[in-house]
Amino acid sequence: MLSPKNGRSTKERIIEAACKVFAEKGYRDATHAEICQCAQANVASINYHFVSKENLYRVVFEHLSQRVQQLYPLDGALPSSASSEEKLRAYIQAHLSRMFDPENLGDLHQIRWSEIFDSTGLLEDLLLTVIEKDRKIIQSILKEFLGSEAPEKELAWCEMSIIGQCVLATPGNKNSIPRKIFKLDKSSVADLTDHILAFSLAGIETVRQKITRQAGRSESDAG
């Protein structure tokens, strides 16, 4: 149980408690009473600080989204002078590190999956903002490999392939199917990053060659 003696304000304690309750129970089954009990706060505190449970839910998502960006930025905080391969490696490693850190990010993963499979509609705009921000990073990296004029479909499908490899590796709990099949845990991140990077670089190069051939045929037809 969260203690009011640890120097955090009532508002901060409610946010932290709500992260756990929303992740475990989902938005619909989470109650003011349970959140406030976990936060050791008066049951009226949610309305006082956040006006409604809906607003608190959005604040929780924004809070957790900021946490993941601080812990594992997808750009790896690399300088713009970093090579394309270095940027892609940093992106993959950050993506995997996010998946393999349930202690800090388990609540965020639970809430996001809940919204994907049983959407409340309350976070749709926030989710889209986060997704578009993340997509800009990987799309920018892919354009360095494929060229700024690469077809949108090729960029999107390369993006999908890279992210798909990372997501499938999500360990989940000890009884999850990916963990049983692939036997992955936090210690796997470095080796898995190397594998996904090598696999993706080969695929990207194949796509680049296809784009080059198609461009050559187009020029030939035009001539």
Residue partners of 140: CB distance under 8 A and separation at least 6: none
- CATH number of the domain where residue 197 is located: 1.10.357
Query: Is the residue at 35 inside a domain?
Result: no
Query: Is the residue at 160 inside a domain?
Result: yes
**pLDDT-derived band of residue 1, with 50, 70 and 90 as boundaries?**
very low
Question: In terms of residue numbers, what domain contains 169?
Answer: 74-222
Query: Is the residue at 82 inside a domain?
Result: yes
- Tally the domains of the chain: 1
Predicted pLDDT at 145:
98
Predicted pLDDT at 8:
82
Reported as a single tens digit per residue, the pLDDT across 23-56 is: 999 999 999 999 999 999 999 999 999 999 999 9
Query: Is the residue at 191 inside a domain?
Result: yes
The pair of three-digit structure tokens given for residue 78, joined into one six-digit string? 């690399």
**pLDDT-derived band of residue 185, with 50, 70 and 90 as boundaries?**
confident
CA distance 193 to 36: 41
Sign of the C-alpha dihedral, residues 50, 115, 70, 82?
Answer: negative
CA distance 171 to 185: 6
Q: Given a cut of 80, is residue 223 above it in pLDDT?
A: no
Predicted pLDDT at 2:
44
CA distance 141 to 150: 12
Query: Is the residue at 20 inside a domain?
Result: no
Q: What H or E segment, with its residue span, contains residue 69?
A: helix 53-71
Query: Is the residue at 16 inside a domain?
Result: no
